[in-house]
Amino acid sequence: MRQSNVGWLFLAPASLILFVVGFVPFLYILYVGFFDWNTNAVDPGLRWAGLQNYRSLVFDPTFLNSLTRTLVFAFIVVVSELLLGYVLARALMADRLPGRQFFRTIHTLPIVVAPIAVGATWRLLCVPGLGILPHYMKLWFGIDYNISTNAYHAFGTAILMDIWHWTPFVTLSLMAGLTALPKEPLEQAQIDGGNKLQIFWYVIVPMLKPVLLTTVFIRLMDALRSVDEIWMLTKGGPAEATRFIGLHIWINVFPKTDYGYGAAMSLLTLYVTIVLSWLLFVAMTGRKGGAQ
Partner 1 sequence: MNSFVKAAGAGFIALGLLNSTALAQDSWWKTAAQPLQGATIRGISESTPASKYVEQVLGPKFTAETGIKVEFEATSWDQMYDKAIKDMEANTGIYDFVYIEQDIVYTYLARNFLVDITKSLADNPKIASPDFKPDNFTTFLNYFKDPKSGDVMGVPMEAFIKPYLYRKDLFDDPAIQKAYKDATGADLKPATTHEEYTQIAKFFTEYGKDKELWGSTVQAASSHPASFYEFFESIAPTFGVYNWGIDGTTFAASVANGGQMNSDAAKKALNYWVGLLQYAPPESTSSTWDEVAGSFAAGRAAQGLVYGENAAWIATDANKSTVVGKVGVALPPVEPGVMEAAEAGKGYIGYYDGGAFGIPHSSKNKDAALLFLQYIGQPSVQTDWALAGSRIVMNSTYDDPKIVEQDKAMNGYYSLMREDGKLFAGAPPYPFHAQVLQVAAPFIYKAIVGEIKPDEALDQAAAAAEAELQKLGYRK
248 close to 65: Cβ distance less than 8 angstroms: no
∠ CA(248), CA(252), CA(253), 5° rounding?
115
SS3 assignment, position 104: helix
123 close to 232: Cβ distance less than 8 angstroms: yes
Query: Segment near partner 1 (CB under 8 A), from 24-32, 63-71, 80-88, 233-241?
Result: 233-241
274 close to 280: Cβ distance less than 8 angstroms: no
Q: Report if residue 149 touches partner 1, rule: CB under 8 A.
A: yes
Q: Report if residue 50 touches partner 1, rule: CB under 8 A.
A: no
Q: Report if residue 226 touches partner 1, rule: CB under 8 A.
A: no
Nearest C-alpha neighbor of 208 from the set 170, 242, 156, 248: 170
Q: In this chain, which of 1, 42, 58, 197 binds partner 1, going by CB under 8 A?
A: 42
DSSP 99: T
Query: Segment near partner 1 (CB under 8 A), from 86-94, 176-184, 196-204, 238-246?
Result: 238-246
Q: In this chain, which of 38, 53, 171, 173 binds partner 1, going by CB under 8 A?
A: 38
Q: Give least dist CB 78 to partner 1, A.
A: 25
Identify which of residues 118 and 233 has a Cβ nearer to partner 1 in the complex. Answer: 233
DSSP 42: S
Q: Give least dist CB 154 to partner 1, A.
A: 9
Q: Report if residue 137 touches partner 1, rule: CB under 8 A.
A: no
110 close to 165: Cβ distance less than 8 angstroms: yes
Number of chain residues interacting with partner 1 (CB under 8 A): 35
Q: Which residues pair with 218 in a beta bridge?
A: none
> What is the Cα–Cα distance from 196 to 145, expressed in whole angstroms?
40
Identify which of residues 7 and 44 has a Cβ nearer to partner 1 in the complex. Answer: 44
> What is the Cα–Cα distance from 251 to 273, expressed in whole angstroms?
20
DSSP 127: -
SS3 assignment, position 244: coil
Return phi, psi of residue 48, to 5°. -60, 130
Q: Report if residue 119 touches partner 1, rule: CB under 8 A.
A: no
Q: In this chain, which of 55, 209, 256, 287 binds partner 1, going by CB under 8 A?
A: 256
Q: In this chain, which of 151, 186, 270, 280 binds partner 1, going by CB under 8 A?
A: 151
Q: Give least dist CB 34 to partner 1, A.
A: 16
Query: Segment near partner 1 (CB under 8 A), from 164-172, 215-223, 230-238, 282-290?
Result: 230-238
Where do contacts with partner 1 occur on this chain (CB under 8 A)?
Answer: 36, 38-44, 62, 127-130, 134, 146-151, 234-240, 243, 251-252, 254-258
